[in-house]
Amino acid sequence: MKDNINSENLPQHIAVIMDGNGRWAKKKGARRVFGHKNAVKAVRDVTEASAELGIKYLTLYAFSTENWSRPKAEVEALMKLLVSTIRKEVKTLVKNNVKLQSIGNRDDLPKGCQRELAEAIELTKDHTGLTLTLALSYSGRWDIVNAVKDIAHDVKNGKVDPHDINTNLFSKYLSTDKMPDPELMIRTSGEMRVSNFLLWQLAYSEIYISPILWPDFRREHLYEAIIDYQKRERRFGKTSEQVNLLND
């Protein structure tokens, strides 16, 4: 499977909506939290495989703004799991030259989480391999509204002339400013929606929906998604003929 991947045409940035933990647990007659615990294995495998392939950016949707509305016990269990996972996995990140970062409203997270995350980010900040971005208390609308606030502030301070506001400048105010937009977005568990993920950044992403529930997702499934991506024709509004002319 891995041999069928064209290393010349890898996406630089893969974004994943890790979905289906609850259903995975339910199928096993277990509680939802059991699904979240088993999700960590998938995160580890996909991160390792991405680093090995030479993918530059992997962004994982781990907790949305809307997920705060889940039952309190589930939210608490997820936050605890986040702390223990970062603590356990940081060694592997160091070993694999992975740089960790996060996007989302970090202030919303419990203090312990914020501390653990900040430490791991600091420890891996000079790594030059894969950049692993965890989207935590993240939503696309939050990101856009934040960008608007910051731009408004800079306009008020005279740093930005309203005439200079364009898509390029706007992108620089988003939480993903240092990253290219994802060429490939994967969602697991067969769900066909964006659920307030990277709304701006997904404008031209290729979308791949996998039926696999996230705790069962492994590197082979990632390879399948990349191979599928490599078969697509990305037209960016142009005609197929124009695209083929450019490629000749």
Residues that bind ligand IPE in the complex, under the rule CB under 6 A: 17-23, 61-64, 67, 78, 189, 191, 193, 195
Catalytic residue (one of 6, 9, 19, 164): 19
Token pair, residue 141, equals: 């609308």
Instruction: Write down the least CB distance from residue 231 to ligand IPE, Å.
Output: 26
Is 150 annotated as ligand-binding? no
> Please, are residues 129 and 48 in contact by the beta-carbon 8 Å criterion?
no
Q: How far apart are CA 105 and CA 90, in angstroms?
A: 22
Q: Which of 67, 96, 146, 196 is catalytic?
A: 67
State yes or no: 21 annotated in a binding site. Answer: yes
Please list the alpha-helical segments (H only) found in 138-239.
Answer: 140-156, 167-172, 219-230
Q: Is 7 annotated as a binding residue?
A: no
**Among 11-19, 137-145, 156-164, 219-227, which window interacts with Mg ion (CB under 5 A)?**
11-19
* Cβ atoms 101, 71 nearer than 8 A: no
Give the integer Cα–Cα distance in Å for 126 and 151.
Answer: 29
Q: Kindly tell me which of 75 and 160 has the beta carbon lying closer to ligand IPE.
A: 75
Task: Let me know if 19 is a catalytic residue.
Answer: yes
Structure tokens that stand for 167 in this block: 């898509």
- Applying CB under 5 A, among 14, 15, 19, 186 the residue interacting with Mg ion is 19
Residue whose C-alpha is closest to residue 17's, from 206, 193, 200: 193
* β strands within the chain, DSSP E: 13-17, 57-64, 99-103, 131-138, 184-187, 206-209
214, 60, 84, 208: which is closest to 135 by C-alpha? 60
Q: Least Å distance between CB 148 and ligand IPE?
A: 23
CB of 19 to Mg ion, least distance (A): 4
195 is in an annotated binding site: yes
Stretch that binds Mg ion, among 19-27, 71-79, 89-97, 206-214 (CB under 5 A): 19-27
Backbone angles phi, psi at 181, to 5 degrees: -65, 150
Helix axes 32-53, 72-95, angle to 10 degrees: 20
> Which partner in ligand IPE, Mg ion, none is near 12 (CB below 5 to 8 A by kind)?
none
CB of 164 to ligand IPE, least distance (A): 34
Is residue 65 part of an annotated ligand binding site? yes
Q: Residue 23 binds which entry of ligand IPE, Mg ion, none, with Cβ cut-offs from 5 to 8 Å by kind?
A: ligand IPE
Q: Is 168 a catalytic residue?
A: no
* Residues engaged in binding Mg ion (CB under 5 A): 19
Q: Please state the residue numbers annotated as binding site for substrate.
A: 20-24, 32, 36, 64-66, 68, 70, 187, 193-195
Residues annotated as part of the active site? 19, 67
